[in-house]
Amino acid sequence: MISFAALMPASESTRLFNRARRVLPGGVNSPVRAFAAVGGRPPFVERARGARLYDADGQSYIDYVMSWGPLIHGHAPPELTRALRSAAGRGTSFGAPTALEVDLARIVCRLVPSIALVRFVNSGTEATMSAIRVARAATGRDRIVKFAGCYHGHGDAFLVQAGSGATTLGVPTSPGVARATAADTLIAAYNDVESVERLCRTHRERIAAVIVEPIAGNMGVVPPAPGFLEGLRDLCDRHGIVLIFDEVISGFRASRGGAQAVYGVMPDLTCLGKIIGGGLPVGAYGGRGDLMERVSPAGPVYQAGTLSGNPLAMTAGVWSLSRLSAPLYRRLDKLGRRLAEGLRTAALETGVALTVNTAGSVLTPFFTAGPVTDYASATAADTEAYAAFFRGMLRRGVHPPPSQFEGWFLSDAHTERDVDRTVRAARQSLAEIRPAPRESAPQRPETPR
């Protein structure tokens, strides 16, 4: 069988990828970028502007990865690049407090309903690891509950999968994760409050935190079912458990106040990333004052970072969050609906089974006929069909995520013309797909964060 890679002409991107594999594990610095789930070789990006990427071979693409979500204002907005040049001229890192940190913190506390105090870090992974530490310190308990299919970064406590039942202790899914660490992580089913209730009964007074993506984004986009988030809030209140919302994706994407503002459910702690940094490495965790006052130096829970709050990242964050507005979200929601409906119509016209989940300006087309409400239904999607679809889209100048299990992100730089061109490319790419029986096991989602 001839591989897709073998059919590709020699290109600068191919040469760069071959060079990269000699000095980087797998040739990349984050697994999903290697295109293992879709075949072929990744285009090496040379530059980007607005909604478009330009690769090392001079090809341009309408981009729906948008750096996996941070770029709600598009690639390289001129005002932002000017602000960053100015900030860099004053110094890139001081290891000392700056007014910019205070400015961004004030914006975050004003926008996100549940945050009274916030600590900046450098990634979403740092934020979730730190929030769990605070929860354990506050409760004196060790175990946490996460949901199958929700990704919270590559901290040891999060790299686990369910055992033979909902009450089974976690087992590691990555070499290097200690079994003792994984044993403190319990797995529940997303959109299933009862699965959490069972864990609470079985592990009574041993659970420190429940951590959840309020809008799941790392098994593809899966919105919360009615009553799911409210049920988690009630359970945590009754059992003395800290409720943590991982809003690394949904924070400032679902609304200016994140998913918690949309659904009206307040967590105890919130983890943020992506949009908060305007395209630069920034994460944050924050929440109730009594919990955050436990963080050093105010309290005994230690967490530190040399580059946390550096002036370049804070400049980008202040610029990004200051330009969020109600008209922006209305426009993005409209574009999201236009793209989702276009993909559904194209699938009907070509006879391809497709379910499109949406959450405002983020969506995922799942290659399956049934609804996608959790990890099991997400991983029932036909990954081979998605891979063929992806390759067709890339040939036609559209760059969707190189994995079935990721969200497509729209930005303020996308236009209706971009969306309509994307739908035309989708119709042509879907028409090339020939249904085939699936004999292999479902593929586990890759995690780009």
Q: What is the DSSP string of 276-334?
A: GGTTSS-EEEEE-HHHHTTBTTTSSB----TTTT-HHHHHHHHHHHHT--HHHHHHHHH
Within 8-123, where are the H helices?
12-20, 78-90, 99-111
Cβ burial, residue 398 (10 Å; 0-12/13-18/19+): buried
**Cβ of 74: how many Cβ atoms within 10 Å?**
20
146 neighbors 375 (Cβ within 8 angstroms)? no
- Indicate if the pLDDT at residue 435 is higher than 70: no
- 184-241: per-residue pLDDT in tens? 999 999 999 999 999 999 998 999 999 999 999 999 999 999 999 999 999 999 999 9
Contact 173, 159 (CB under 8 A): yes
What local confidence, expressed as pLDDT, does residue 2 receive? Answer: 40
Question: Is it the case that residue 408 has pLDDT exceeding 80?
Answer: yes
Please report the pLDDT score of residue 119 as a whole number. 98
Residues 339-354: tens digit of each pLDDT: 999 999 999 999 999 9
For the record, the structure tokens of 445 come out as 């989602």
The reported pLDDT for the residue numbered 158 is 86
Q: How far apart are CA 90 and CA 68, in angstroms?
A: 29
Nearest Cα residue to 102 out of 309, 262, 299, 383: 309
User: What region, left, alpha or beta, does residue 202 occupy, with left being phi > 0 and alpha being psi -120 to 50 degrees?
Assistant: alpha
Q: Please write the tens of the pLDDT for every residue from 293-313.
A: 999 999 999 999 999 999 999
Give buried/exposed letters for 305-321 (b at 16+ CB in 10 A, else e).
Answer: beebbbbbbbbbbbbbb
Q: Which residues are catalytic?
A: 151, 246, 274
Percentage of the chain beyond pLDDT 70 is 91
Residue 434 reports pLDDT greater than 70: no
Q: Which pLDDT value is given to residue 169?
A: 42
Give the chain's mean pLDDT. Answer: 92
The two beta strands, 398-399 and 60-63, are: parallel
pLDDT score for 333:
98
Q: Is the peptide bond before 365 cis (omega within 30 degrees of 0)?
A: no
178 CB burial (10 A radius; 0-12, 13-18, 19+) = exposed
- Position 160 scores a pLDDT of 75
Please report the DSSP string for 91-108 in residue order.
Answer: -S--SS--HHHHHHHHHH
Asked if residue 320 has pLDDT above 90, the reply is yes
Name every residue whose Cβ is closer than 8 Å to that of residue 119 and which is 6 or more positions away in sequence: 130, 284, 285, 286, 292, 295, 303, 308
Q: How far is Cα 48 from Cα 330, in angstroms, rounded to an integer?
A: 25
- How long a stretch of residues is the chain? 449
Write down the pLDDT at residue 173: 65
Query: Residue 447 has what pLDDT?
Result: 54
| pLDDT average, residue stretch 319-342 | 98
pLDDT of residue 437: 42
Average pLDDT over residues 161-187: 64
Helix intervals (H) in 351-411: 375-378, 383-395
Domains within the chain, CATH numbers bracketed: 4-72+325-431 (3.90.1150.10), 78-322 (3.40.640.10)
User: Among 357, 321, 120, which residue's Cα sits nearest to residue 218?
Assistant: 357
| Average pLDDT of the segment spanning 407-415 | 98
Q: Is the pLDDT of residue 179 over 90?
A: no
Three-state DSSP state, 336:
helix
| pLDDT value, residue 445 | 60
